[in-house]
């Protein structure tokens, strides 16, 4: 993740968190990385920068760390069994800050909303008896659309769209018979464009674009030289308007939008 100061933050699966100023990557000297020892874990699942510039780090262990640039130390947030005013479970896989500043966490426990001003957590957990609730506890991605609704990408049950006005969810499931429908229920990443369209990457059915104006999905062929459906692993829209697409077996692609 590249923050507003042009610092690259890197999370690993076995060596914790480090950062480096981007300009160091382009000169002839050996780059110097800053390693953070007090993150509370070495397996990093997600990194996100909020509006004040704090860095939020989600860990496999279920801890959440916030790096405060003004005070420097990491502040830890964790799941406390039996305490509803805490993260709702272990393993933080994605982080998102909505337009009003709420921090949203997703993982293997549904989603949790955290109000930084009040310190209050609100949990949204899958309940098979509630058709208006979130469709799965296994959440990989969170994205806010132009209407202020949160798109929740799940690992196994499509997309749930959260309406903050009444705290209800509507659901989009895979529809293989509809050429303008969602192709897979296994969602990996969500990325909104400036125009309000939403890119959806999947584990097994390639990449799609949700057309906000026409309310339908379009299939995007990442590599026309192969007939295989690409398993996309990551999406990143940079400041120049290039969408970077990481795949599981076909390398990295960049598309100018």
| Alpha-carbon span 57 to 65, nearest angstrom | 5
Write out pLDDT tens, residues 16-54: 888 999 888 887 788 888 888 777 677 888 888 888 888
Burial of 163 (0-12, 13-18, 19+ CB in 10 A): middle
Residue 222 has pLDDT above 90, yes or no: no
Alpha-carbon Rg for the chain, nearest whole angstrom, is: 18
Q: 86, 14, 19, 89: which is closest to 55 by C-alpha?
A: 19
| Residue matched to tokens 């272990």 | 90
Tell me how many helices (H) and strands (E) the chain has: 0, 22
Q: Which residue has the higher pLDDT, 18 or 75?
A: 18
**What structural domains does the chain harbor?**
1-125 (2.130.10.10), 135-229 (2.40.10)
When pLDDT is cut at 50, 70 and 90, the band that residue 161 belongs to is very high
Q: Are strands 159-163 and 168-172 parallel, antiparallel or unpaired?
A: antiparallel
Q: Name the region of 34 (left: φ>0; alpha: ψ -120 to 50; beta: rest).
A: beta
Q: Which residue has the higher pLDDT, 137 or 194?
A: 137
Contacts (Cβ under 8 Å, ≥6 apart) of 131? none
Could you tell me how far CA 210 lies from the centroid of its own chain? Answer: 17
Mean pLDDT of the 170-176 span: 93
What per-residue confidence (pLDDT) applies to 92? 82
Nearest to 58 by CA among 44, 72, 37: 44
Instruction: Specify the pairing of strand 242-247 against strand 232-237.
Output: antiparallel
């Amino acid at each position: 993740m590249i923050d507003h100061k042009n610092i690259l933050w890197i999370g690993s699966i076995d060596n914790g968190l480090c950062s480096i100023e981007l300009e160091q990557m382009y000169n002839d000297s050996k780059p110097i990385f800053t390693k953070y020892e007090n993150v509370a874990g070495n397996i990093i699942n997600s990194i996100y920068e909020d509006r004040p510039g704090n860095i939020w780090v989600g860990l496999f262990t279920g801890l959440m760390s916030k790096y405060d640039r003004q005070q420097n130390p990491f502040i830890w947030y964790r799941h406390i069994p039996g305490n509803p005013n805490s993260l709702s479970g272990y393993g933080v896989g994605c982080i998102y800050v909505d337009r009003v500043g709420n921090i949203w966490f997703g993982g293997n426990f549904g989603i949790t909303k955290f109000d930084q001003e009040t310190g209050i957590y609100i949990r949204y957990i899958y309940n098979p008896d509630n058709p208006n609730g979130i469709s799965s506890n296994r959440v990989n991605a969170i994205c806010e659309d132009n209407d202020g609704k949160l798109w929740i990408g799940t690992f196994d049950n499509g997309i749930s769209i959260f309406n903050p006005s009444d705290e209800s969810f509507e659901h989009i499931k895979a529809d293989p018979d509809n050429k303008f429908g969602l192709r897979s229920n296994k969602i990996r990443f969500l990325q909104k464009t400036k125009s309000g369209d939403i890119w959806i990457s999947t584990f097994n059915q390639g990449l799609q674009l949700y057309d906000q104006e026409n309310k339908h999905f379009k299939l995007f062929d990442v590599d026309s030289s192969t007939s295989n459906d690409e398993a996309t692993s990551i999406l990143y829209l940079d400041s120049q308007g290039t969408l970077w697409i990481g795949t599981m077996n076909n390398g990295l692609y960049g598309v100018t939008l």
